[in-house]
Amino acid sequence: MSALEKQGLQRSYKRLRPFSGSIATAAAAAGVLGIPTARVAKSLAFLVNGRPWLAVLRGDRRLDLRKMADQIGCPRRGIKAASPIDCQQLFGYSPGVLPPGGFLVPVCVLAAAEDGQAANDAGLQLTLDSMCTRLCRWLRCLGVDSEYVGAEVRRAEVPQLAAAATAQGRIFVTRDQKLSARRGTGAVFLLATDDAASQLEELATHFGIRFDEEVVLSRCSKCNAAQFELVEPRERVQGWVPEHVYSRVEEFWQCGRCRKVFWMGPRSQAAIELVGGMLSRMRTQDESPCADFFAEGV
């Protein structure tokens, strides 16, 4: 690890804490590592006409055996899941600890192809602690599925909420060191700083969040729903928004869940400082700055 640190690559690896027993599912592995299930590769063992085959796919995906049969040119009835005894005798490993290689006998491996995606468009789901209000708002702005634990929730209830979030395939994000060290809370990501901009950079680096014009402003900043509807006719919002806004803005959008109305308004200095500067370090040369537009709403 010291060699990686000398090259400035200390963020490229993650130190794993020891654990006992096997991790039988991709969701359980994601919980131990504190990463989305989509970033875990799972191995599924099969016998195809009596020969050992292994399918490797993303942790949040299900294998369609009919498509697998078409891919390898085999009738569907010729594919059956390997039993625990098959796994031990043919693959050399017990179910739950099956790697994608290094077997006792030749094994055919079928790997699912995945297109590269930003985390905000690849199933990343977060639940944020009440101490991360500002961070949650800007994650939603980026299109990241981000639920929020309100300040009215008692701290004694938070561990149960973190565990429930993990059960739903979400990562719980917090600054609470005691919570992150507590057993039974599931997938908890501990932020290293109280500064919202630094927190956003930390999550962007760890989960691969970037500025993507196709998903930016796709979620409601109030309720997290991705259900925006163009308000037609425009006159429906008259009286809902300030008159000076109505007279200058041509298009209004409404959240399909909480019914909050949004429009494209002038940039605020806080938005430019927090998200604009942050995303300028995340975006590629082909991506435009996010400071060009921000949604306002009532």
Supply the CATH number for residue 57's domain. 3.90.960.10
Does one domain contain both 92 and 142?
Answer: no
Q: Residue length, the chain?
A: 298
Is there a contact between 216 and 274 (Cβ–Cβ < 8 Å)? no
Check whether residue 207 and residue 100 sit in a common domain: no
What pLDDT is recorded for position 168?
A: 86
Q: Please check whether residues 153 and 282 belong to one and the same domain.
A: yes
Residue 172 inside a domain? The answer is yes
Residue 202 and residue 251 in one domain:
yes
Residue type at position 159: P
**Number of other CB atoms surrounding residue 225 within 10 Å:** 16
Q: Which domain holds residue 250?
A: 119-297
**Separation of CA 124 from chain center:** 1
Domain boundary among 76, 111, 146: 111
Say if residue 222 is in the same domain as residue 95.
no
Q: Is residue 4 part of a domain?
A: no
Percent of the chain with pLDDT over 90: 18
> With contact defined as beta carbons under 8 Å apart, do 46 and 72 qualify?
no
- For residue 9, is it within any domain? no
pLDDT of residue 236: 92
Residues 267 and 131 in one domain: yes
Instruction: Quote helix, strand, coil % in the chain, to nearest 5.
Output: 35, 20, 45
Rounded CA separation 295/261 (Å)? 10
pLDDT value of position 32:
67
pLDDT at 237: 92
**252 and 164 both lie in a single domain:** yes
pLDDT tens per residue, range 21-32: 556 677 677 766
* Cα 130 from Cα 181, distance rounded (Å): 18
**For residues 260 and 254, is the Cβ–Cβ distance under 8 A?**
yes
pLDDT in tens, 99-117: 877 777 888 888 876 555 5
Q: How far apart are alpha carbons 60 and 145 in whole angstroms? A: 16
Domain count, the chain: 2
Same domain (yes/no): 222, 267: yes
What string of pLDDT tens digits covers the 298 residues of the chain?
455 555 555 544 555 555 555 566 776 777 666 666 667 788 888 999 989 999 888 776 777 788 888 888 888 888 988 888 988 888 888 877 788 777 778 888 888 765 555 555 557 899 999 989 999 988 988 889 999 998 888 988 999 999 898 888 899 999 998 888 887 788 889 999 999 888 988 998 888 887 776 677 778 889 998 888 888 888 999 988 999 989 988 888 899 889 999 887 764 345 545 565 665 655 544 443 333 333 445 4
